[in-house]
Amino acid sequence: MSLPSMASVEPTRSKYVDDVELYRSDLRRYLAEATWVAEWRAATCSSAEQRLAYDASVLRRLYADGWNRYGWPEMVGGHGGDEIHRAAFYDELTAALLPVPNQQWTLETLGPALIAFAPQLAAERLGAYLRGEEWWGQGFSEPDAGSDLASLRTRALDDGHGGLVVSGQKIWTSQGGTAHRFVVLVRTGSTASRHRGLTMVLIDADAPGVTVRPIALASGRRELAEVFFDNVRVPAQRVIGDRDGGWEVAMYLMQYERGMYGYAVVTAALAQLSRLRATMVARSASAADKQRFARVYVATMVAAARGAATVRMLARGQTLGPASSIDKLLFTTVEKDIQDLIFDVRHDWMMNGADDADPADVDEVRADWWYARAATIMGGTAEVQKNIVADHVLGLPRGAQ
């Protein structure tokens, strides 16, 4: 695909912002014709750290050619557009059977909140995220505060100069072992104040007093980390939103975790189903496996349809509210079901490999299965999400105490 001349770049950007279908079709052509994309599609990595490093190189290429910058405001290095452009980006990765770069998962969750509540900080820092130069961890969960964030105990005290001093521990931080910064929810009010006494801050991973300990999962990959804060100084400029207003930021962030992140998960799942279908056809799958594949495929398309409606709401600036728990239930369920289907259909290959199998390829597929064990737990358990739907969406009566 020939690159446009500099004289044509600005008009093309404007056209893509105004016409998402033009952006979609040209991105599709780019992914089909760019010589380096085949390497991206086939790349396998033997560790979480190696995967993130490789995906960072992918983002650098995409950024240089402009394709991952649509849907993000110009102030952070984007080209403009909205969430629908970002959804189209994930759609086209799926159509090309390409994986979503791992940094996108946290960017989709953390980036919009930073733009909305700390625009100056977003302008300074998010461009590097888009370029693959850095990525961040989301410091919410604690050993005694998982789905109930209002009970968190990581403490932030006023330093007397407008900043904060943070002490405490976070756990299960995705990509935490290699993260350059952490978006951390801390307690600035009393424990009794619950969600009214929380504040969101951005902390550098190499700041004095920060200790990061990667957590190896059952797969052996260090996908997560626990992070300790020992009197870490946070300047006032690193507060996201208002002091004691962290709950509002967290709820805004959760919309994107349920919406854009969820939509990306579903599109990635559809790509996995496409690859699995090819394997099943080549190996003459049983009737039972075909029926199971059909059920999972229908459930995935339901999640995709729901996700597309949610993306449109975000693009219109609408608040998702508690109904976003439905999105999470749908996409986490299909994520786990697809991995279980892959495991059962390719059981011998996943357990024993094959003489001609790439060990790194087998290892990555196994790691995906292991990671999916937590799909319906992380970010708020399925049981909690069902209670939210029952109480706040359906208005069902509470059971006897």
For residue 152, give Cα distances in angstroms to 59, 139, 170, 235. 34, 11, 9, 21
Token pair, residue 232, equals 């870490």
Residues assigned a catalytic role: 257
* H/E segment holding residue 184: strand 181-187
Q: Residue 227's closest CA among 250, 253, 201?
A: 201
Strands 164-170 and 224-234: antiparallel
Number of H helices, E strands in the chain: 14, 8
Q: Residue 256's closest CA among 168, 317, 178, 333?
A: 317
Residues 6+ apart with CB under 8 A from 212: 176, 177, 179, 205, 225, 226, 227, 228
What gap in Å lies between CA 108 and CA 225, rounded to an integer? 20
Give first-to-last CA distance, the chain, whole Å: 65
Q: Residue 110's closest CA among 214, 180, 157, 208?
A: 180
Instruction: Quickly tell me which residue has 């056809």 as its tokens.
Output: 281
Query: How far, rounded to the nearest angstrom, does the alpha carbon of residue 261 sit from its chain's CA centroid?
Result: 5
What gap in Å lies between CA 221 and CA 146, rounded to an integer? 22
Q: What is the DSSP string of 116-131?
A: HH-HHHHHHHHHHHHT
Q: What is the DSSP letter of 320?
A: -
Q: What is the DSSP letter of 81?
A: -
Token pair, residue 263, equals 């939509």
Instruction: Quickly tell me which residue has 């219109």 as its tokens.
Output: 316
Helix (H, G, I), strand (E, B) or coil at 179: coil
What gap in Å lies between CA 40 and CA 74, rounded to an integer? 27
